[in-house]
Amino acid sequence: MRIIATDKAPAAIGPYSQAVEVGGVVYTSGQIPLRPDGTLVQGDVEEQVKQVLANLDAVLSAAGVGRTNVVKATIFLTDLADFDTVNEAYGAFFGDHRPARSCVQVAALPKGAKVEIELVAVRPTT
């Protein structure tokens, strides 16, 4: 198992890694809208999801993979009324790439965040 870490995304706020790679598969931990310095984006869900996606981009990059290597995403929202807004930012992030995805509403997220996203990516074989 290889541990993935970058200072371009917030450090883990608990006993876990930003991501791990096992057998060419990269599993990111869920990212909430923390800036790399650990402060929470206080804005609306649109601002929050953009920070979450920036964090994930940094973690993927540190792992040596990119958005087009993502095969599965899981989105956690505290309010499914935000689905369309999150979907728009998510669609812009992935462009024409369409990984499998789940989206669920949860009662609460760490630090009072409105959105959390985790990804699974596969390292391309050469």
Could you give the domains of the chain? Answer: 2-122 (3.30.1330.40)
The owner of tokens 């689905």 is: 83
* pTM greater than 0.75: yes
Give phi and psi for 98, each to the nearest 5: -130, 80
Instruction: List, for residues 110-119, the tens digit of each pLDDT value.
Output: 999 999 999 9
Segment 85-101 mean pLDDT? 98
* Class of residue 22 by CB neighbours under 10 A (exposed 0-12, middle 13-18, buried 19+): exposed
What is the pLDDT, as a whole number, of residue 125?
80
